[in-house]
Structure 1
Amino acid sequence: MCGIIGIVGHEGVAERLLDGLKRLEYRGYDSAGIATVHNNAIERRRASGKLGNLANALETEPLFGAIGIAHTRWATHGGPTTNNAHPHATDKVAVVHNGIIENFKPLREALIARGRAFTSETDTEVVAHLISEKVEAGADPVEAVRDVLPQLRGAFALAILFRDRPDLLIGARLGSPLVVGVGEGETYIGSDALALASLTQRVIYLEEGDWVVCSREEVQVFDQANQPVERAIIQSGVDGELISKGNHRHYMIKEIYEQPIVVAQTLRSYLQRIDETLTLPIPDFDLSAIRRVTIVACGTSFYAGMIARYWFEQFARVPVDLDVASEFRYRAPVIEPGGLALFISQSGETADTLAALRHAREEGQKIAVVVNVPTSSMAREADLLLPTHAGPEIGVASTKAFTCQLAVLAALAANLARAKGRLTPEDEHAVVKHLAEAPAALNAALAYEDTIKGVAADIAMARDVLYLGRGTDYPLALEGALKLKEISYIHAEGYAAGEMKHGPIALIDENVPVIVIAPSGPLFEKTVSNMQEVQARGGKVVLISDYDGIREAGTGCLATITMPKVHPLIAPLVYSVPVQLLAYHVAVTKGTDVDQPRNLAKSVTVE
């Protein structure tokens, strides 16, 4: 969440800072601001709401200067007001910050006791005052930052500029990501490489605890012990064109339609089509020795993990524990040394998941990470890195990252089964064959968008919606409900179909649509029985199934959505499409902000 960009250069930076913030809108925010140094003064423009408000402020009162920092804020301490928007500044220092300074209250109280005056409710402002105190007492900016950083507790990524040093930017990271961009006679700081895509692809990924001193021509990195260290300059590979919506109305629908391509790209890394065998990045541990898998994730990634649990236990016969990342450490889990802890994240920076990863490492677990950003913190700390190759995902509600996660997890489950001797060569060839069919099946599912758009008009009228499914369709029901909640703001819940009669059936009436996910197969008849229980009580059912399932059970439904007939292994990938499209078109019908739904952030870097 939140976004940072900073530039130290030779010409005006305000317009480019605003462009960088636009590239960071996908992270989620509710206010924004820019600060520059010009004519021996720090000047700021800030605004609550969307970036258009900040752009209007800049048009009315332009900012000048060849150095500046900018920020999109997702409110934590204090409401989303202009006064609470970043950058926060004193006369000598301006700061932008992602994360949370957990000990800001005692720091603030001590600063007030020393006569410092605060103008915001934020935790960030204490950083500006602490550094400013040092500078006012005669410290060099580098010394001031070095002395202040150890006082801060919590998670932070910081970019700092100084009134009296218009040639200097300082950045720091602890628990929140920060990258440095290297240009020709310019240097940049950003919360991710995407923010810098239009400026440079030569980036330095700061390690945990690093802080960096940037001038126009030089970058000097220090570790947490304040020792100078070398960090490699690498090509980010992030193409600024990839964040274009193209001819689509929203990023979300563009990313839904990218799924056949990106799933194919992802599977290419895990399948050998020539001899129909599985492949995997070679871990530094023996997969066959794994006796238990612990899966940890948040949100949509958690539901991908729920589906993976079925696959791991079915194929490899390895027991699986599954935890929401924010709860994992706090329930004091009993973890046997030598197990595999599997972490799933789109960004690779989710604070709860990253903290859980480090806890699992301390407990003697081997670490596998399924992630869409191979340069992220989680990726760098993994023993087994499993990239998803989905490309940048801009829409806050995850779509293509989810289906790519499923593709990777299916391949990993089959690899573990093979290592355990539970997958014959014939079975392996069958798995490869079915996974290789997924991109075409996803493409076929997209052909039903018009039907789904028609169904959305009825769902948009509802206040409450239930989703039902069995087996791997149960997590998909949870994911469908989450998507609808996220972007249409309709209350929705997902349930295991057999659990409906243990409570939720009390909610059934003609005003509560029930979305039933039921591909034909071994669980179809039982799911249909639950569906009929809904219909018997006047409930309106939308059945998502294949031609055989619709023919057998579609009578009496409010609507039916026909999917291609697929093997159960890839059904979760294919049936993701209709639940995504349904949520999308309901949101469009209601006129909500599809790509940037209220109160949500793409990458949650606070606990």
Structure 2
Amino acid sequence: MCGIVGGVAERNIVPILLEGLKRLEYRGYDSSGMAVLDGQQQIRRVRALGKIKNLSQKIQESTEEFAGNLGIAHTRWATHGIPAENNAHPHICNNRVAVVHNGIIENYQELKAQQLDKGYRFTSQTDTEVVAHQIHYELTLLGESEDALLKAVQNALRHFKGAYALGVVAVNDPHTLIAARKGSPLVIGIGIGEHFIASDVSALLPVTQNFIFMEEGDVAHITRETVRIFDATGQIVERAVKQSTLTAHAVELGDHRHYMHKEIFEQPQAVIDTLEGRITQEHVLVSAFGHQAEALFATIERVQIIACGTSYHSGLVAKYWFEDIIGLPCQVEVASEYRYRNPAVLDNTLFVTISQSGETADTLAALQQVKNSKKAKNIPTLTICNVPESSLTRESDLTFLTHAGPEIGVASTKAFTTQLVALALLLTAIGKTQKHLSSKRETIIVRGLQKLPGLLRNALQHEDKIIELAQLFADKNSALFLGRGTMYPIAMEGALKLKEISYIHAEAYPAGELKHGPLALIDDQIPVVMIAPNDDLLEKLKSNLQEVKARGGQMIVFEDELSNIESEGSMQVVKATTNVGRITAPITFNIPLQLLSYHVALIKGTDVDQPRNLAKSVTVE
């Protein structure tokens, strides 16, 4: 949550910061702000409620030129304090120190009480304001000593409990930007005679492709010419400069109206990119999961998957695959529940975390909890993630990077699809290693995955029909999604997408559970969406269709062409795909559900890419 961008340069930094904020707006869009040191070495600040365009307009309308060579900026997703201009970052103390912050200072009430006693004045309801005051206080103790701002930040950090990514500037050191990181991501962009910071690389792609990924506890002293990094103990350290393969146009809309639509249509290529180098014509390369993977996979007796939101749904699909295809026990749990219930971790469990960003706070905390646990032995950890150098990738024994590319829309689409592909490769690699999967079965899975991009392209061709069906939701406030087997978590994902971007209340149930309660909801005002693959449960599902039909329900059925369900009366059928297998079916059927939620949101007039109250990367608890 929240986006930070900052920089120190010889040129005016304001246009760079604005462009960076626009590229980070998916992380938060309740309010935004910017502070720069102007030509008189004074802090000037502009803040605005709502989206970045409002901030940009205020800067343009400023009666005095708003410019500077050193600055920080922020786009906010509210945690402490309502969305309001006075709660927007940057926060300033006594016109001497300005701070932007991502994360939560858990002991801010205690610090606030102490600072009030010292005479500090608070103008917001945020936890971040205590950061600015604490750094200012430490500066007063240090006076004019060398590297005073760096030392003040380091000393202040000792008082904070919680998570933070910080950008700090001060008038007493007008050529220095300080960055600090604990529990929230922060990168340093390396330029020629200029340096930058940001919450992720996408913000800085127009100015650099060279980055240092700050590690836990790092504090960086940044000037135009130098970057010095100190670890959590205060020792100066070297961090590698890495070149990003992303380009600035990778996060542009192109011909699409919304990022979500663009990313839905990027899924065939995302699957191709994720499979590349991980399979041959007939086999999965176990080494794709790391050089230790084969030895670790040989020892595991069960799998534990931890994730949140959409990533949790991908894990639920994989549970069916692991137990059905290779007979390996698999448990899946929401990270925010797992980390607080004192779970029993059994020996020889592969602990799998899934996250698009690799920074999801609850998932990261669950991983750290297991790594520090003394209850079990031989618990190898694996993360499936879309972002290299993220916290989860650094913390895990094994890493599998999906190659979905940047995903800007808050509602995850291509990340989910590539996570499912990664999990399919994982179960195949484990089954192959443990000889629970024959060479023939492995080849069938691999060839199915090779067909998947074509299956997804075919499913996308049903968009015009789905646009028509979306009209059914124009005046509706609730919907029900049904599926059986692997289609149940796909129904859950479909319901989540509809909730996220159209604000329609939607629930998902296993179709066999209709008679145990959900049938009471059925009438002509609640659309029912069913997923009907041609599998062993098809006849059972057809009986469930009749149960809904008999009660006057309006139905949309996405089916395999071979399922032979025909449109009639209040039931409309979309022959979404054909010739799908046990693994490719759930991935393919997810496509029409994504398109349905997108076009319903257009009808409802909601903000598709930036739905209210949500942010893309959930880096706070």
Query: How high is the TM-score relative to the length of structure 1?
Result: 0.98
Which SS does the other structure have where 1:272 is aligned? coil
- Give 2:431's match in structure 1, choosing from 397, 417, 420: 417
Please give the alpha-carbon distance, in whole angstroms, between the structure 1 residues aligned to 2:235 and 2:142.
23
How many positions carry a matched residue from both structures? 605
Please give the alpha-carbon distance, in whole angstroms, between the structure 1 residues aligned to 2:482 and 2:364.
31
Where does 1:325-404 land on structure 2 (aligned, <5 Å)? 325-363=335-373, 364=377, 365-404=379-418
- Give 2:576's match in structure 1, choosing from 553, 558, 563: 563
Letter in 1 for 2:54: N
- Give 1:122's match in structure 2, choosing from 122, 126, 130: 126
Where does 1:471-510 land on structure 2 (aligned, <5 Å)? 471-510=485-524
Matched, 1:42 2:43: yes
Aligned equivalent of 2:561:
547
Q: CA deviation at 1:276?
A: 4.2
Please give the alpha-carbon distance, in whole angstroms, between the structure 2 residues aligned to 1:63 and 1:558.
59
Conservation of the 8 A alpha-carbon contact between 1:278 and 1:428: no
Please give the alpha-carbon distance, in whole angstroms, between the structure 2 residues aligned to 1:286 and 1:68.
47
- Give 1:89's match in structure 2, choosing from 57, 69, 92: 92
Aligned equivalent of 1:220:
228
Q: CA deviation at 1:557?
A: 4.2
Which SS does the other structure have where 2:427 is aligned? helix
Conservation of the 8 A alpha-carbon contact between 2:565 and 2:573: no
Letter in 1 for 2:130: V
Please give the alpha-carbon distance, in whole angstroms, between the structure 2 residues aligned to 1:65 and 1:253.
37
Q: Structure 1: where are the runs of 5+ without partners?
A: none
Deviates more, 1:317-326 or 1:558-567: 558-567
Where does 1:24-43 land on structure 2 (aligned, <5 Å)? 24-38=24-38, 39-43=40-44
| CA distance 1:136–1:398, shift in 2 (3 Å) | same
| CA distance 1:276–1:368, shift in 2 (3 Å) | closer
Aligned equivalent of 1:67:
70
Q: CA deviation at 1:554?
A: 3.7
Q: CA deviation at 1:138?
A: 3.6
Q: CA deviation at 1:277?
A: 4.5
Aligned equivalent of 1:16:
16
Q: CA deviation at 1:56?
A: 1.1
Letter in 2 for 1:261: Q
Conservation of the 8 A alpha-carbon contact between 2:142 and 2:152: no
Conservation of the 8 A alpha-carbon contact between 1:528 and 1:553: no
Q: CA deviation at 1:281?
A: 2.7
Aligned equivalent of 1:436:
450
Where does 1:112-511 land on structure 2 (aligned, <5 Å)? 112-139=116-143, 140-273=148-281, 275-279=282-286, 280-284=288-292, 285-363=295-373, 364=377, 365-511=379-525
Q: CA deviation at 1:552?
A: 3.3
Deviates more, 1:135-144 or 1:63-72: 135-144
Q: CA deviation at 1:411?
A: 0.9
Conservation of the 8 A alpha-carbon contact between 2:179 and 2:221: yes
Which SS does the other structure have where 1:166 is aligned? coil
Conservation of the 8 A alpha-carbon contact between 1:6 and 1:69: yes
Q: CA deviation at 1:283?
A: 4.5
Once the two structures are superposed, residues 45-88 of structure 1 have per-residue CA deviations (whole angstroms, 9 ceiling, x without a partner) of 00011111101110111412100000001011111100000000
Identity of aligned residues (%): 50
Q: CA deviation at 1:553?
A: 4.9
Once the two structures are superposed, residues 448-468 of structure 1 have per-residue CA deviations (whole angstroms, 9 ceiling, x without a partner) of 000001000112321110000
Letter in 2 for 1:355: A
Please give the alpha-carbon distance, in whole angstroms, between the structure 1 residues aligned to 2:162 and 2:443.
49
Q: CA deviation at 1:337?
A: 2.9
Please give the alpha-carbon distance, in whole angstroms, between the structure 2 residues aligned to 1:12 and 1:593.
32
Please give the alpha-carbon distance, in whole angstroms, between the structure 1 residues aligned to 2:425 and 2:405.
19
Which SS does the other structure have where 1:115 is aligned? coil
Please give the alpha-carbon distance, in whole angstroms, between the structure 2 residues aligned to 1:209 and 1:137.
23
Q: CA deviation at 1:419?
A: 1.4
Please give the alpha-carbon distance, in whole angstroms, between the structure 2 residues aligned to 1:282 and 1:11.
43
| CA distance 1:311–1:482, shift in 2 (3 Å) | same
Please give the alpha-carbon distance, in whole angstroms, between the structure 2 residues aligned to 1:342 and 1:572.
20
Conservation of the 8 A alpha-carbon contact between 2:230 and 2:236: yes
Conservation of the 8 A alpha-carbon contact between 2:559 and 2:565: no
| CA distance 1:278–1:545, shift in 2 (3 Å) | farther
Please give the alpha-carbon distance, in whole angstroms, between the structure 1 residues aligned to 2:576 and 2:553.
23
Letter in 1 for 2:467: K
Conservation of the 8 A alpha-carbon contact between 1:28 and 1:396: no
Please give the alpha-carbon distance, in whole angstroms, between the structure 2 residues aligned to 1:277 and 1:300.
25
Which SS does the other structure have where 1:176 is aligned? coil
Aligned equivalent of 2:3:
3
Conservation of the 8 A alpha-carbon contact between 1:8 and 1:167: yes
Please give the alpha-carbon distance, in whole angstroms, between the structure 1 residues aligned to 2:264 and 2:252.
14
Please give the alpha-carbon distance, in whole angstroms, between the structure 2 residues aligned to 1:462 and 1:251.
25
